[in-house]
A and B are shown apart, each in its own frame.
Chain A
Amino acid sequence: MISQFFILSSKGDPLIYKDFRGDSGGRDVAELFYRKLTGLPGDESPVVMHHDGRHFIHIRHSSLYLVVTTSENVSPFSLLELLSRLATLLGDYCGSLGEGTISRNVALVYELLDEVLDYGYVQTTSTEMLRNFIQTEAVVSKPFSLFDLSSVGLFGAETQQSKVAPSSAASRPVLSSRSDQSQKNEVFLDVVERLSVLIASNGSLLKVDVQGEIRLKSFLPSGSEMRIGLTEEFCVGKSELRGYGPGIRVDEVSFHSSVNLDEFESHRILRLQPPQGELTVMRYQLSDDLPSPLPFRLFPSVQWDRGSGRLQVYLKLRCDLPSKREIPGERVSSARQACPKKAPSPAPSLSKLQPVSGAEQPRAEGRAGGGSPSLGPASGARRLSTLGPFPDGRPRAPRTSQPWALHLGPSSGSGPGQSLL
C-alpha cells in the first residue's frame, strides 16, 4: 500500500507528485525526503528512511529519485521491484528516462501512474494492458548529437559506424503515435557486461568478475515469436563440456520468466514472445578464470624520485576492443594503496591522476579521495600518471603482499551483439 509517489530531480525539485491516499502529510514530504537524504550520516543507508510514522523507500535511476512513502510494514523487495518496473515503464513510454523527458511528458506520466496504481495498490504494469488506456502521446525531442554526425564518413563514404545503428536509435517511445503508420518493426539486442578486475602490480589478474545481461528492446507488434540462438558451445557451470574447443562458459545463468527454454538444452535456443518495451532476457555471471583474455591491458609503473620526494605512478591502459564498441563508463582506480605519510597530507594523493596521452583529450575528473577519473570511449593506449609528495622523504610500502595492486572496474562494453561471448 503506497501513500505517495514522487519523482525528484537530482537537485531535489519535484517533477511528478501524486498522493494516492491523502492520509499522510502534505506536499512538503518531497522536500522533507530530500533534506533527509542529503543530511544522512555516512554509515546509515538511504534506501529506507523513516520519518514520523512514514517510511520513504526510493531508488535512484538515471539521476532521478523515484520515491514512495508508505505507513505500513511492507515487503521491501516488492516495492523496490515496483519502483524499478515503473522506471522501465516510464522509459518505455517516454522514450528514455531523464529529467527532460519527464518534464516534457508530465501528462503522460500522470496518466500512466493513474492506471498503474489506484489507491496505492498496483493494478497492472504490463505494457500490453496499459497501452489500451494510455491516450497521451509522448513528446520526443531529439537533442542534437555529435554522434550522429560521426557516422557520416568523409565525402559521404560509408564508415564502420554507419553499419551500426546509432545508440540513440533505441531510445524512442514504445507507443509510437497513432497517426504515424510507418512504425518500423525493429528489435534492439544489447549485450551489456560489467567487468570488475583486480590486477596485481606485476600485471597478473587477482580477481575477475563479469556480470552480463542480454537486454532486448522490442518494437515488434506483440505476440510475435522470437528465437535467439546462442552459440552451441555455450556451457553453463564449471563442469559442463560442449563442442571440442574450450567453448564459452559462464558460471550461472538466469532467464526472464517469459523465456521458453525447451530448446535451450539441445540447441541453445531461447524462444520468447517479447512484450513491447525493454526486457532483460538473460543474465549471466562469470568469475575467476576467464575463457578469453581481458579486453584491455594495464601496464603500471611506479617510480619514486628520491631527490624530490615524489612518487610517480604511470598507468598505461591499452584497450584491445575494436574502436566501434562503446565503453560508456570506464574507471580506473588504484584502490589498494595506503602510502603511509606523516600528518600534513591526509589521504593517498592519487587523486591527482592526469591523463598524459598525446593526441586525444579524454575527460578526466579526478575525484577527491577516490582517484577515479572516468575516461571517454577508450581505444588504443592511454597513460595516466600521478605525482605524490612524500614529505618524510621515504615512502614505506605497506607490509602487505600486494603493495601496488590496482583495481580496475567496472568498465562495461556495450553495443549491439558485442561481448566476451
Chain B
Amino acid sequence: MPYLGSEDVVKELKKALCNPHIQADRLRYRNVIQRVIRYMTQGLDMSGVFMEMVKASATVDIVQKKLVYLYMCTYAPLKPDLALLAINTLCKDCSDPNPMVRGLALRSMCSLRMPGVQEYIQQPILNGLRDKASYVRRVAVLGCAKMHNLHGDSEVDGALVNELYSLLRDQDPIVVVNCLRSLEEILKLEGGVVINKPIAHHLLNRMSKLDQWGQAEVLNFLLRYQPRSEEELFDILNLLDSFLKSSSPGVVMGATKLFLILAKKFPHVQTDVLVRVKGPLLAACSSESRELCFVALCHVRQILHSLPGHFSSHYKKFFCSYSEPHYIKLQKVEVLCELVNDENVQQVLEELRGYCTDVSADFAQAAIFAIGGIARTYTDQCVQILTELLGLRQEHITTVVVQTFRDLVWLCPQCTEAVCQALPGCEENIQDSEGKQALIWLLGVHGERIPNAPYVLEDFVENVKSETFPAVKMELLTALLRLFLSRPAECQDMLGRLLYYCIEEEKDMAVRDRGLFYYRLLLVGIDEVKRILCSPKSDPTLGLLEDPAERPVNSWASDFNTLVPVYGKAHWATISKCQGAERCGPELPKTSSFAASGPLIPEDNKEREQELPDSGALMLVPNRQLTADYFEKTWLSLKVAHQQVLPWRGEFHPDTLQMALQVVNIQTIAISRAGTRPWKAYLSAQDDTGCLFLTELLLEPENSEMQISVKQNEARTETLNSFISVLETVIGTIEEIKS
C-alpha cells in the first residue's frame, strides 16, 4: 500500500533523525524512531533512512535499541551492505554484561537474513550456547536453526548438532524445547530429530516442568517414539494420563493424538481415550471463541465417523443458537445428523425442523438436506416433516424438499407412496433448475401413482419455449417418455408436441439430439423403448449415494489435531496435491502438460499411439486377450519390475478406464467396482516382441494415491519405461477429465 508522497515523509524523518537537538533528547529521538516503525507497519518503504537508523542503534536506551533492531531485521535483505555496518554494534552488545542486551543482540543478529552474515554470527552463537543466562541460551539455540537456514542446503555441522543434543539436558525447560525445534530444522533432510529411548524418557520426565506450549510440542515430538515393549508403552501412557485433563485444549488434543497412535493395537484403549476427551471437546464446542468452537466441531465429526453415537447423549450441545455464524451452524447440523439414535431422534428432528424455516435460505436448505440424511434410517418421521414443509409454499424450501425426496425414493423405496402423495401442488413453488429436474424425474418415474402427473408435465411442455435450463428440457423428455409407457393415453399428444419442438425449434444441440434419439427409439418399437428406459427404479445396493462405511480410528489418528479435519479430507487432498505438484512440478511434465479436453480422449490417444513407436520403440499388440487363470499364474510367478505411485483422488469409473486403456491396447483382466475400498484393477498388455506387461493398480482407502506395480516376463528396461509412460498418460487423462 504505497502512500502518495512517501518520499516527503522519508525526507522529513531523515532530517529529524539527523537533527542533533533531537538526538540529544532521548524521548524525542525515540518518538521519531517510533514514527519510522509505524510507517513501516503501514507498508511505506522506509529503507531510505537505513543509514540514520544504524547510527541510532549505538545507544544505551534499550527501548530504542529494540526498535532499531526491529527496523534492521525488516530492511536488512534490501540493504545488506549498510546492514554490515551495524554488525559491529551488535557484536559488542553480544558481550554486554546485561543478559537481556546479549539476548536481544544475538536474536537480532541471527534474524538479519542477508547473505554474508553467517561468518559474523557463528562465534556469538557458540558463545551464547554456553552462556550462563538461560535467556541467552534460548536465543542461541534457535540461532543455530536460523544460521543453518541461512546457509541454504549446506551440510550439517556435526559438532553443532552434538552440542544441541547435549543441551537437551539443560536446566531451563524452554532451552530444551528450543533444542528440539532447532534440531528438527537442521536435520530436516535426514528426517528430523531422533527420539530414542533415553531422550524420550528424559522428555517424559521433564514434561511437568514445561509450559503448555512446550508440552503440546513435546507431545508432538514423542509421536515418533516407538516403545520397545508393551510394558513400556503402558508406562508412558500412565505418565501422560494427567495431560488428558489439562486445561489447555492444545495439550489435551496433543495427548489424545499420542494415545491414539501409541495404542494403535489396542482398540479398547483408543475408545477409552476418546471417551475421556469428550468433555474437553464439548467444552471447546461451546467455547466463547467461535474459531475454537469450529475446530472442535470438525474434530467431533471426525470421531463420529468411527464411533457413531459417541456424542449421542450430548446432542443438545449441538443445537444452534441464532447468533452463531453460518459456518458453525452448518457444522452443527452435520454433527446432529450423524449422532441421531432411537432415543434422541424425536428431539433432533424437532430442532432441525425449526431450522428449516430459518431466515437464511442457505441454512434452511442445509437443515432440510440433513433431515433427508436422517430419513434414510427414520423414514416415516422425516417424510412427514418434509411433507409439512411443502405446505409452507416457500420457494427455497420446496425446491430442496423435492430434491431430498428424489434421493430418498431411490434409497428407500418404501417411502415412495408417501412421497407421491405429497408431490401434487408443489410445482407452483419451484423455479430453479435443480428443483425442477428433481420434480420432473419423480413425476416421470413414479407417474403412475400420481394422478395429476401428466397435467403437471403438460404445463412444463406448454412452457418449454420459455424454459432457460437445457438440463430441465432433457429431464422433461426422459420423464415424459417414461410416463408415456405407463399412461399412454394421456401423454401421447403432448409427447408428440414436445418431440416436435425439440427436433424442429430447439437451439441446444444436446436437447435436440436427445429428442431425435427418443424419436428414433420410438420408431423401433415400444418394447425396445421399455427395455432401454425402464431400468430398475431403485437399487440401494448400488451404494452410490450411501454413506461410506465406518472408518477405523487408526485411519485418521495421524490426522487428529492437525489441519486435515478442519479443511475436510477432500479439500486437504487438493491442497497437498497443489503443494506436491509445485515440489515435483518440473520432474513430471508429462502428466501436467497433458491437458486433453474431455470428450476427445479416444482420438487424442490414437494420435499418441501413433507417436509412441517413435518415442519409446514400444508397439503394443491389439486384441491380445489373456485368460484370468493364465494371468493369475504368470502374475504370481513374476517379480515386480517397477513400482510407482501417482497422485489420485476420488473414484475410478471402470468403464472410462477400460475404454481409455483399450485405445492404447492394454486389456483389463479384472477390475473392482467404483467406490470399493481398496480398489484394484489388473491389466495386461503385450508388445510386438511378445513381452508381457502385467499391471496392478491399487487405490488404498486412506491415502490419495494410486500405487502401480508392473511385472514383465522379459527384463527389458527401455520397453518397460515406455509402457509405464503410456500408462501414466492414460491415467493422467482420466484424471483431467474427472476434474
B627: interface (CB < 8 Å): no
Q: Contacts of A338 on B, CB cut-off 8 Å? A: 357, 392, 394, 397
In the complex, what distance in Å separates the CA atom of A126 from the CA atom of B113? Answer: 29
Beta-carbon contact of B322 and A407 below 8 Å: yes
Q: A335-B359, A400-B353 are in contact. Are A106 and B37 (CB under 8 A)?
A: yes
B66: interface (CB < 8 Å): yes
Taking CB as reference atom, which chain A residue is nearest B319? A207
* CB < 8 Å neighbour of A43 from B67, B327, B563: B327
Q: Contacts of A337 on B, CB cut-off 8 Å? A: 357
In the complex, what distance in Å separates the CA atom of A407 from the CA atom of B323? Answer: 10
Of B38-46, B335-343, B470-478, the one with at least 4 CB within 8 A of chain A = B38-46
A143: interface (CB < 8 Å): no
Q: A31-B1, A78-B216 are in contact. Are A331 and B323 (CB under 8 A)?
A: yes
With both chains docked as a complex, state the minimum distance between the C-beta of A289 and any C-beta of chain B, in angstroms.
13
Taking CB as reference atom, which chain A residue is nearest B281? A77
* CB < 8 Å neighbour of B582 from A22, A53, A409: A53
Annotate A9-44 by CB proximity to B: 1 below 8 A, 0 otherwise.
000011111010011000100010000000000111
In the complex, what distance in Å separates the CA atom of A405 from the CA atom of B575? Answer: 44
Taking CB as reference atom, which chain A residue is nearest B111? A119
With both chains docked as a complex, state the minimum distance between the C-beta of B649 and any C-beta of chain A, in angstroms.
16
Beta-carbon contact of B563 and A122 below 8 Å: no
A377: interface (CB < 8 Å): no
Annotate B101-127 by CB proximity to A: 1 below 8 A, 0 otherwise.
000000100010100000000000000
Annotate A67-86 by CB proximity to B: 1 below 8 A, 0 otherwise.
00000011111101111100
A366: interface (CB < 8 Å): no
Q: A44-B327, A77-B295 are in contact. Are A53 and B579 (CB under 8 A)?
A: yes
With both chains docked as a complex, state the minimum distance between the C-beta of B538 and any C-beta of chain A, in angstroms.
29
Beta-carbon contact of B283 and A254 below 8 Å: yes
With both chains docked as a complex, state the minimum distance between the C-beta of B428 and any C-beta of chain A, in angstroms.
10
B593: interface (CB < 8 Å): no
Q: A80-B295, A126-B211, A340-B392 are in contact. Are A335 and B358 (CB under 8 A)?
A: yes
In the complex, what distance in Å separates the CA atom of A369 from the CA atom of B177? Answer: 51
Of B244-252, B676-684, B694-702, the one with at least 4 CB within 8 A of chain A = B244-252
* CB < 8 Å neighbour of B63 from A73, A84, A107, A336: A107
With both chains docked as a complex, state the minimum distance between the C-beta of B662 and any C-beta of chain A, in angstroms.
39
Q: A77-B249, A110-B70, A207-B319 are in contact. Are A42 and B362 (CB under 8 A)?
A: yes
Beta-carbon contact of B38 and A103 below 8 Å: yes
Beta-carbon contact of A118 and B42 below 8 Å: no
With both chains docked as a complex, state the minimum distance between the C-beta of B476 and any C-beta of chain A, in angstroms.
23
Q: Which of B67, B177, B322, B395 has the most C-beta atoms of chain A within 10 angstroms of its own C-beta?
A: B322
In the complex, what distance in Å separates the CA atom of A338 from the CA atom of B354? Answer: 10
Q: Which of B145, B249, B571, B578 has the most C-beta atoms of chain A within 10 angstroms of its own C-beta?
A: B249
Taking CB as reference atom, which chain A residue is nearest B76? A22
Beta-carbon contact of A48 and B567 below 8 Å: yes
Beta-carbon contact of B566 and A48 below 8 Å: yes
Beta-carbon contact of A76 and B566 below 8 Å: yes
Q: A47-B291, A73-B562, A211-B286 are in contact. Are A78 and B67 (CB under 8 A)?
A: no
Beta-carbon contact of A369 and B66 below 8 Å: no
| Total cross-chain contacts (CB, 8 A) | 206
In the complex, what distance in Å separates the CA atom of A398 from the CA atom of B358? Answer: 12
Taking CB as reference atom, which chain B residue is nearest A368? B359
Beta-carbon contact of A196 and B321 below 8 Å: yes
Chain B contact surface mostly: helix
Q: Contacts of B283 on A, CB cut-off 8 Å? A: 254, 283
Q: Contacts of B107 on A, CB cut-off 8 Å? A: 114, 118
Q: A135-B66, A409-B322 are in contact. Are A75 and B357 (CB under 8 A)?
A: no
Q: Which of B177, B216, B353, B563 has the most C-beta atoms of chain A within 10 angstroms of its own C-beta?
A: B563
Contacts of B11-43 to chain A: CB distance below 8 A: 34, 37-38, 41-43
Q: Contacts of A59 on B, CB cut-off 8 Å? A: 289, 291
A136: interface (CB < 8 Å): yes
Q: Contacts of A83 on B, CB cut-off 8 Å? A: 291
Q: Contacts of B358 on A, CB cut-off 8 Å? A: 335
In the complex, what distance in Å separates the CA atom of A43 from the CA atom of B111? Answer: 40
A388: interface (CB < 8 Å): no
Beta-carbon contact of A285 and B286 below 8 Å: yes
In the complex, what distance in Å separates the CA atom of A183 from the CA atom of B404? Answer: 66
* CB < 8 Å neighbour of A27 from B43, B392, B561: B43
Q: Contacts of B248 on A, CB cut-off 8 Å? A: 81, 257
Q: Contacts of B289 on A, CB cut-off 8 Å? A: 59, 80, 84
With both chains docked as a complex, state the minimum distance between the C-beta of B287 and any C-beta of chain A, in angstroms.
9
In the complex, what distance in Å separates the CA atom of A345 from the CA atom of B74? Answer: 55
With both chains docked as a complex, state the minimum distance between the C-beta of B565 and any C-beta of chain A, in angstroms.
8
Q: Contacts of A348 on B, CB cut-off 8 Å? A: 359
Q: Contacts of A15 on B, CB cut-off 8 Å? A: 41
Taking CB as reference atom, which chain A residue is nearest B1? A31
Q: Contacts of A31 on B, CB cut-off 8 Å? A: 1
In the complex, what distance in Å separates the CA atom of A400 from the CA atom of B353? Answer: 8
A399: interface (CB < 8 Å): yes
A274: interface (CB < 8 Å): no
With both chains docked as a complex, state the minimum distance between the C-beta of A9 and any C-beta of chain B, in angstroms.
11
* CB < 8 Å neighbour of A42 from B321, B326, B394: B326
Taking CB as reference atom, which chain B residue is nearest A329? B323
Contacts of B122-149 to chain A: CB distance below 8 A: 135, 138-139, 142, 145-146, 149
* CB < 8 Å neighbour of A75 from B253, B391, B578: B253
Q: Contacts of B70 on A, CB cut-off 8 Å? A: 110, 114
Beta-carbon contact of A340 and B394 below 8 Å: yes
A312: interface (CB < 8 Å): no
In the complex, what distance in Å separates the CA atom of A125 from the CA atom of B250? Answer: 15
Contacts of B392-431 to chain A: CB distance below 8 A: 392-395, 397
With both chains docked as a complex, state the minimum distance between the C-beta of A153 and any C-beta of chain B, in angstroms.
36
In the complex, what distance in Å separates the CA atom of A57 from the CA atom of B113? Answer: 25
With both chains docked as a complex, state the minimum distance between the C-beta of B578 and any C-beta of chain A, in angstroms.
7
Beta-carbon contact of A81 and B359 below 8 Å: no
B254: interface (CB < 8 Å): yes
Q: A371-B359, A400-B353 are in contact. Are A47 and B138 (CB under 8 A)?
A: no
Q: Contacts of B738 on A, CB cut-off 8 Å? A: none
A111: interface (CB < 8 Å): yes
Annotate B261-291 by CB proximity to A: 1 below 8 A, 0 otherwise.
0000000000000000000000110101111
Beta-carbon contact of B37 and A46 below 8 Å: no
Taking CB as reference atom, which chain B residue is nearest A15? B41
In the complex, what distance in Å separates the CA atom of A340 from the CA atom of B388? Answer: 13
Beta-carbon contact of B321 and A209 below 8 Å: yes
Taking CB as reference atom, which chain B residue is nearest A392? B393
Q: Contacts of B178 on A, CB cut-off 8 Å? A: 121, 123
B213: interface (CB < 8 Å): yes
B91: interface (CB < 8 Å): no
Contacts of B334-385 to chain A: CB distance below 8 A: 353-354, 357-360, 362, 366
Beta-carbon contact of A45 and B294 below 8 Å: yes
Beta-carbon contact of B211 and A124 below 8 Å: yes
Beta-carbon contact of A75 and B393 below 8 Å: no
A sample of 30 cross-chain residue pairs with beta-carbon separation below 8 angstroms, ordered by A number, consists of: A46-B327, A47-B295, A48-B567, A59-B291, A73-B563, A74-B562, A75-B216, A75-B253, A76-B295, A76-B563, A77-B292, A78-B250, A83-B291, A106-B34, A107-B34, A107-B67, A111-B66, A119-B146, A121-B178, A121-B181, A123-B138, A132-B100, A135-B63, A135-B66, A254-B283, A338-B357, A369-B360, A399-B388, A400-B357, A409-B323
Q: Please list the 4 inter-chain residue pairs (A to B) with the smallest Cβ-Cβ separation, ordered nearest first.
A: A78-B250, A338-B357, A45-B327, A122-B213
Residues of A within 8 A of B (CB): 1, 13-17, 19, 22-23, 27, 31, 42-48, 50, 53, 55, 57-60, 73-78, 80-84, 103, 106-107, 110-111, 114, 118-119, 121-126, 132-133, 135-136, 194, 196, 207, 209, 211, 254-257, 283, 285, 287, 331, 333, 335-338, 340, 343, 347-348, 369-372, 396, 398-400, 405, 407, 409-410
18 new A-B contacts, CB < 8 A, other than A78-B250, A336-B354, A410-B323, are: A14-B41, A17-B41, A22-B113, A55-B563, A75-B562, A77-B292, A77-B561, A81-B212, A81-B248, A82-B250, A114-B66, A114-B107, A123-B138, A124-B211, A135-B66, A255-B247, A347-B359, A371-B359
